[in-house]
Amino acid sequence: MNIIKTLSATVAFGGLLLSTGCTSTQIYDPTVDRTNIRDTRRISQEEMREVARAAVRNALVAPKLARYVEKFRADHGGRNPVLKLDRTINDTNDPDLNTSVISDTIFEELLNSDKVEVTMAEGQGRTQAIGNSRLNALDDNFNKNTVAKAGTLVAANLVMRPKIVSQETRDGRVRNIERFFVMDMAEIENGLIMWKYSKPLGFVTTRGSVGW
């Protein structure tokens, strides 16, 4: 009897291993491969990268920006204007939204465009490392000819501000979820907006037999 029980337990355990061992993990690159997976509660990194990339590319072909860059280069010996990226505003129902994905994508697209210079001395991309490195002038171990001098930081000429908003409406068993990626750019000297972009990301979910 004990042998039968032992065999039954062994078979059951083996079946459990087989049932759990069939699960596999698919590896993909979210910057290249598109899964079209959406979550009603969260915005995927795939969506954030995609919409941020599209927004920057739209800005780079905007007529006002093209005219501004052309005039700036003519007035400053061919130098590109400097742009700072403002903090990404998260106006959604997801408090854990990782907005750094948006910032990193925007930075990459702007740098690769060679239309503007992106600063890390101000804006969301500001890093304390720049300010700390300038303190090297106070350290006698550093060659004074190699440390950054006072008054050498370049101020931004343009500012770009990204924002993600969401809203939800319900009609009986149907829930409509709308998300918008909004971004604008303005000239700092006069505060005038030279470009604005809005991309809706919406879909409808139908309530199942149990919950949403």
pLDDT at 175 over 90: no
State the residue for tokens 């907006």.
193
Average pLDDT, the chain: 78
Where does the pLDDT of residue 145 fall: very low under 50, low under 70, confident under 90, or very high at 90 and above?
Answer: confident
Class of domain 43-119+154-212: alpha beta
pLDDT at 54 (0 to 100): 93
Delimit the domains of the chain by residue range: 43-119+154-212, 127-153
DSSP label at residue 38: -
Alpha-carbon gap, residue 182 to 163, rounded angstroms:
5
Between residues 207 and 159, which one has the greater pLDDT?
159
Averaged pLDDT, 33-53: 71
pLDDT at 173 over 60: yes
Question: pLDDT, tens digit, for every residue of 19-38?
Answer: 555 566 555 555 555 555 55
Averaged pLDDT, 51-74: 94
Alpha-carbon gap, residue 141 to 163, rounded angstroms:
45
Q: Is the pTM of this model over 0.85?
A: no
Alpha-carbon gap, residue 82 to 90, rounded angstroms:
25
Averaged pLDDT, 165-184: 83
